[in-house]
Amino acid sequence: MTPSSKKLIAGLPGMFVGVWLSMSIALQSLLILQGIDFLTGFLVAWSTGSVSSDVSRRGFVKKAVALLLVAAINAFTYSHPVGFDLAAMMATWFCATELISIAENAGRAGWPLPRFLTDALAKLSDQNGGTK
């Protein structure tokens, strides 16, 4: 390995930390919750023997589209200021949907969920036509 390659590799953690710290708290939260949702969904599917690459791919696409939408809104508000952080608001909305999905995964894993939460999840599912 050449000395310049070693310097490049040594600088990567600092680059990632810099990028992470430059993100809004809402975006950091969204990325963390997306990771937790993926892991809980995978673990539940693995425990039931129903891991599917198609389901995983669709989940990743939804998560990527959410991140791209937040990025697009962020870019738009730089050129057209609206007086508040619209991208952070959108990221917060997606955080709420990720929390719902994580709660659903916990329920599928056998964790007892409070009745008010199961009722709210059922209502949201009905409002969305039976989809998450």
What sign has the CA pseudo-torsion 113, 105, 94, 13?
positive
Q: What is the predicted pLDDT for the residue at 120?
A: 81
Distance CA 96, CA 37 (A): 12
pTM: 0.82
Distance CA 132, CA 124 (A): 8
DSSP state of 128: T
Q: Where are the domains of the chain?
A: 24-127
Q: What is the predicted pLDDT for the residue at 129?
A: 58
Q: What is the predicted pLDDT for the residue at 47?
A: 94
Tens-digit pLDDT profile for the chain (132 aa)? 888 888 888 888 988 899 899 989 999 999 999 999 999 999 999 999 999 999 999 999 999 999 999 999 999 999 999 999 999 999 999 998 999 899 999 999 999 989 988 888 778 767 665 544
The two three-digit tokens of residue 126, written as one number:
């009905």
